[in-house]
């Protein structure tokens, strides 16, 4: 690939990071991997208690940071929506979104740009890559043979979103707040004919909570040990996704998701009573919210 072409393309990519009480050492590692690839990074801080530490960290870099300081936690969906709005306003073509606890392969942007240069078509909604979660065994990296493989969904972290095509959807749904926000935007893009393509490249080391590999009978499952309050959003948003995307997220998928979460809580999580209370509260609230949504 021509170096001048790569440089020209890279100027059109904005890095986007949402922070909320991050571990500063991990965030530094995150930003070091990101700043080696992009000149400008937009950070949306969701009311972190350690904002002073974040600002001191940003001052230690020479890159151009745009820091938005929200007065409270507005949720991941709201923050991502604001990042996309900023990117459109500043005439970027792509947004590389990265979770605060992820570390990118330093060649990821080059690999994405190379893939885009050889792809013929305007139907890409989002690019993703192979992902290794630090908490889990090597099996967490799914192998593939194709250079680019179409996948139904991907996580937000390390995804490269086509801004033009994103704005042909309703965008990130801030009512979801957190959890399944990435699934929702993937389904919205696909409903409008855009593809989610995965690059055959290990591009990110990711970490969700303090997870473990477990088994339910013969099936391998991942227990993330996420915070108790997220049980509410997981079950609530599972119901909402079925009502928003009945073709791509049918009732059978919703039921499987709810049963899976219920089994994880019952068999493996601590604080079962509070988690089950939030789980029940979430799916009942999801039914109420879904009825209010236009079909």
> Does one domain contain both 90 and 231?
no
> Does one domain contain both 195 and 276?
no
**Is residue 168 within 8 Å of 106, Cβ to Cβ?**
no
**Is residue 54 within 8 Å of 48, Cβ to Cβ?**
yes
> Is the pLDDT higher at 209 or at 194?
194
> Does one domain contain both 166 and 241?
no
What three-state secondary structure class fits 147? Answer: coil
CA distance 53 to 50: 5
Percent of the chain having pLDDT more than 90?
77
Residue 1 has pLDDT above 50, yes or no: no
CA distance 83 to 91: 12
**Among the three residues 157, 179, 206, which one is the final residue of a domain in this structure?**
206
| Residue 210 banded pLDDT, cuts 50, 70, 90 | low
Q: How many domains does the chain have?
A: 2
> CATH no. for residue 89?
3.90.550.10
Q: What pLDDT shows up at residue 226?
A: 84
> Does one domain contain both 92 and 238?
no
> Does one domain contain both 169 and 225?
no
Cα 154 to the center of its chain, rounded Å: 7
State residue 122 phi and psi, 5-degree precision.
-115, 25
State pLDDT tens for residues 35-91. 999 989 999 999 999 999 999 999 999 888 999 999 999 999 999 999 999 999 999
**Among the three residues 206, 222, 255, which one is the final residue of a domain in this structure?**
206
Which DSSP string corresponds to 247-270? TTS-HHHHHHHHHHHHHHHHHH-S
What three-state secondary structure class fits 60? Answer: coil
Q: What pLDDT shows up at residue 275?
A: 96
**b/e map 224-254, b = 16+ CB within 10 Å:** bebebebbbbbbbbbbbbbbbbeebbeeeeb
Q: What pLDDT shows up at residue 10?
A: 47
The β-bridge partners of 129 are: 199
> Does one domain contain both 221 and 242?
yes
> Does one domain contain both 32 and 76?
yes
* Segment 244-266 mean pLDDT: 95
Range of the domain at 236: 212-292
> Does one domain contain both 226 and 256?
yes
> Does one domain contain both 183 and 77?
yes
> Does one domain contain both 202 and 254?
no
**Among the three residues 206, 228, 245, which one is the final residue of a domain in this structure?**
206
> Does one domain contain both 62 and 189?
yes
State pLDDT tens for residues 152-196. 999 999 999 999 999 999 999 999 999 999 999 999 999 999 999
CA distance 47 to 30: 19
Closest CA to 227 of 182, 265, 193: 265
* Segment 217-224 mean pLDDT: 71
Q: Where are the alpha helices (DSSP H) in 119-219?
A: 163-166, 181-191
**Is residue 141 within 8 Å of 201, Cβ to Cβ?**
no
> Does one domain contain both 51 and 183?
yes
DSSP state of 288: H
């Amino acid at each position: 690939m021509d170096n001048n072409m790569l440089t020209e393309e890279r100027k059109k990519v904005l890095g986007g990071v949402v922070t909320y009480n991050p571990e500063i050492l991990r965030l530094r590692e995150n930003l070091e991997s990101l700043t080696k690839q992009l000149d400008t990074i937009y950070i949306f801080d969701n009311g972190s208690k350690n904002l002073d530490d974040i600002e001191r960290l940003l001052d230690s870099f020479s890159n151009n940071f745009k820091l938005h300081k929200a007065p409270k936690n507005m949720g991941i969906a709201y923050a991502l929506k604001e990042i996309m709005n900023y990117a459109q306003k500043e005439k970027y073509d792509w947004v590389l979104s990265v979770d605060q606890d992820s570390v990118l392969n330093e060649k990821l942007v080059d690999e994405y740009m190379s893939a885009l240069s050889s792809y013929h078509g305007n139907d890409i909604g989002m690019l993703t890559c192979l992902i290794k979660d630090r908490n889990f065994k090597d099996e967490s990296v799914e192998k593939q043979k194709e250079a680019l493989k179409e996948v139904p969904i991907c996580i937000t972290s390390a995804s490269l979103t086509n801004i033009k095509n994103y704005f042909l959807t309703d965008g990130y749904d801030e009512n979801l707040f957190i959890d399944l926000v990435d699934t929702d935007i993937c389904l919205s893009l696909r409903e409008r004919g855009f593809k989610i393509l995965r690059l055959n490249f290990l591009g990110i080391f990711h970490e969700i909570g303090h997870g473990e590999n477990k088994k339910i009978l013969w099936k391998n499952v991942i227990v993330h040990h996420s915070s108790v309050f997220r049980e509410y959003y997981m079950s609530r948003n599972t119901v909402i996704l079925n009502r928003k995307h009945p073709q791509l997220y049918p009732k059978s998928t919703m039921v499987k998701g709810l049963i899976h979460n219920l089994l994880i809580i019952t068999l493996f999580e601590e604080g079962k009573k509070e988690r089950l209370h939030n789980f029940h509260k979430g799916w009942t609230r999801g039914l109420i919210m879904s009825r209010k949504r236009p079909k």
